[in-house]
Amino acid sequence: MSAQIGVTGLAVMGANLARNLARNGYTVALHNRSVEKTDALLEKHGGEGDFIRTESLQELVDSLEKPRRVLIMVKAGAPVDSVIEQLEPLLEAGDIIIDAGNSHYEDTRRREAALAEKNLHFVGVGVSGGEEGALLGPSIMPGGSRESYDSLGPMLEKISAKYNGEACCRWIGTDGAGHFVKMVHNGIEYADMQVIGEAYDVLRTAAGIEPADQAKIFTEWNTGTLSSFLIEITAEVLAHTDDRTGKPFVDVVVDSAGQKGTGRWTVVSALELGSPTSGIAESVFARGLSSQRGQRELAQGILEGHEGTVELPEGFVEDVRLALYASKLVSYAQGIDMLTAAATEYGWDLKLDEIASLWRAGCIIRAELLDDIMKAYAGDARPANLLLAPAFAESIAGAVPAWRRVVATAVQLGIPVPVFSSSLAYYDGLRRKRLPAALTQGLRDLFGAHTYNRVDAEGTFHTLWGEDRSEVEAVDTH
Ligand code: 6PG
């Protein structure tokens, strides 16, 4: 018996993907650096399908049908390079190495190029849905060559989540495209969680609504346009009471949010692409600030808040819902804008409707909204920005009055709402006829002769600030 796919790296994610493949009828060869993990998996779940136990990478490779498919699920970074280095001499032209971890897309591009020279396919695959998704059906974002997808795609589609019967897995594009899209997914995931946190904070601090009652509000919100996995689990976490103290669970958790880096990568990449991903950036910075516990403690004793008093407008809870909806929409718009910029930069033919479609189930950001986002980009529709798609232009405009009230209230009361407010600033920045960037250009021209364009004439100009302030046409821009 030979296996259709081998999996090396059997920590929870790798083990669950292997089990998912076996449960879907594939014969799966198993390998782990320490054989105990392999045996533990076989002992507990060996009955779920056909597995082949192996003790070395050589044995793993020997157990596979050709072209071989080897899926690596180890920690991103150097461990991936190390496994590739060991595997490569054991493989033959046409074989496929699959990296299903959260690798940086630049690493994936580098690895793909190096292995292509040796006639090996390297497929960086974004996988979302956490441990449960890996087992029951994740959202899958494969990059790599089209040819490798012909061999691998059907398997990945079979084990992926389904939305109304449609597989949440599509070939994303060449080399690092799959990992890039997964990275942006995570950036949006950060922003999504931050806006939920801001809504919670405003409801609690401004309106005095306790976590258990908020759980009911979030459950209610989960039935409307906000319906999503993250809203659903927010209700679950807020409803939870700590066993030890009887307090709301959120009150006994240290308020410093960790991160493994994918959100940060998204922002670094957005900066490089020149894509204004302010909401996602603020959500990463919010985690950073939350983790500066020493400074925060000192500041509590030193920095005055001078909070104002605010009479909450009627329907404040609904206002918060709309502010959350609008800010969330901006994060998606910014993430998608980044995808568009990356497609140009890296030569990827990213299909935005397909990407939205495979985020509809299985992944952490799965949401009803994604079905509408998919429709906004379907067919020939290419809105320059998600917010300009007619359906969204209308729904976000409808939320604006409430959004402004919530941001103003939070500012008055000293409640930090970095994503609510920066998203509103983005919205206003996008729609304003004139921006103060004109003044910035003037300043740049004065101190550095950086030149500017005029609203009423073609060409590039410079004012002779140190002389008679006459204007000259500039040849060079610097
Ligand atoms: C997913 C998640 C997952 C990620 C966690 C942790 O799509 O299943 O994005 O890949 O590892 O969400 O991310 P942080 O530790 O950075 O919050």
The pLDDT tens digits of the residues spanning 254-263 come to: 999 999 999 9
**Cα–Cα dist 440/239, whole Å:** 49
Range 380-400 average pLDDT:
95
Atom 6 of ligand 1: nearest residue by CA position? 260
Residue 379 above 90 pLDDT?
no
How does pLDDT run across 67-119, given as a tens digit for each residue?
999 999 999 999 999 999 999 999 999 999 999 999 999 999 999 999 999 99
Omega prior to 67 cis, within 30 of 0:
yes
Residue 478 above 90 pLDDT?
no
Residues 6+ apart with CB under 8 A from 73: 7, 8, 9, 10, 11, 13, 14, 17, 100, 101
CA of 27 to the centre of ligand 1 (A): 28
Model confidence at 380, pLDDT cuts 50, 70, 90, reads: confident
**Whether residue 211 has its Cβ less than 6 Å from ligand 1:** no
Residue 325 above 90 pLDDT?
yes
Residue 382 above 70 pLDDT?
yes
How does pLDDT run across 261-275, given as a tens digit for each residue?
999 999 999 999 999
> What pLDDT sits at residue 475?
78
CA of 451 to the centre of ligand 1 (A): 44
Model confidence at 476, pLDDT cuts 50, 70, 90, reads: low
Percent with pLDDT over 90 in the chain: 98
**Cα–Cα dist 174/309, whole Å:** 55
Atom 5 of ligand 1: nearest residue by CA position? 130
| DSSP conformation letters of 255-266 | S-----SHHHHH
Range 407-412 average pLDDT:
98
Which among 312, 314, 355, 29 has a CA at the least distance from the CA of 170? Answer: 355
Atom 1 of ligand 1: nearest residue by CA position? 128
> Can you give 82-133 as a three-state secondary structure string?
HHHHHHHHHCCCCCEEEECCCCCHHHHHHHHHHHHCCCCEEEEEEEECHHHH
**Whether residue 101 has its Cβ less than 6 Å from ligand 1:** no
On whether the CB atoms of residues 312 and 207 are closer than 8 A, the answer is yes
Residues 6+ apart with CB under 8 A from 243: none
Atom of ligand 1 nearest to the CA of 182: 7
Residue 477 above 70 pLDDT?
no
Q: What is the pTM of this model?
A: 0.96
Average pLDDT of the chain is 97
Range 360-373 average pLDDT:
96
On whether the CB atoms of residues 123 and 98 are closer than 8 A, the answer is yes
467 in catalytic set: no
Range 219-226 average pLDDT:
97
> What pLDDT sits at residue 162?
97
Tell me phi and psi for residue 452, to 5 degrees: -155, 165
Residues 6+ apart with CB under 8 A from 360: 163, 168, 366, 367, 370, 371, 374
**Cα–Cα dist 169/44, whole Å:** 28
368 in catalytic set: no
CA of 401 to the centre of ligand 1 (A): 33
> What pLDDT sits at residue 70?
98
> What pLDDT sits at residue 214?
98
Model confidence at 1, pLDDT cuts 50, 70, 90, reads: confident
Which among 277, 324, 263 has a CA at the least distance from the CA of 429? Answer: 277
Residue 37 above 60 pLDDT?
yes
For the chain, helix, strand, coil in percent to 5 are: 55, 10, 35
**Pocket-testing residue among 102, 291, 366, ligand 1, by greatest number of atoms within 8 A of Cβ:** 102
How does pLDDT run across 327-348, given as a tens digit for each residue?
999 999 999 999 999 999 999 9
On whether the CB atoms of residues 273 and 334 are closer than 8 A, the answer is no
Which among 222, 404, 399, 398 has a CA at the least distance from the CA of 313? Answer: 404
**Whether residue 130 has its Cβ less than 6 Å from ligand 1:** yes
Atom of ligand 1 nearest to the CA of 130: 8
Q: Which of 55, 158, 166, 182 is catalytic?
A: 182
> What pLDDT sits at residue 123?
98
**Whether residue 139 has its Cβ less than 6 Å from ligand 1:** no
**Whether residue 225 has its Cβ less than 6 Å from ligand 1:** no
**Pocket-testing residue among 140, 189, 287, ligand 1, by greatest number of atoms within 8 A of Cβ:** 189
Residue 369 above 90 pLDDT?
yes
> What pLDDT sits at residue 104?
97
Atom of ligand 1 nearest to the CA of 363: 7
**Whether residue 102 has its Cβ less than 6 Å from ligand 1:** yes
Residue 286 above 80 pLDDT?
yes
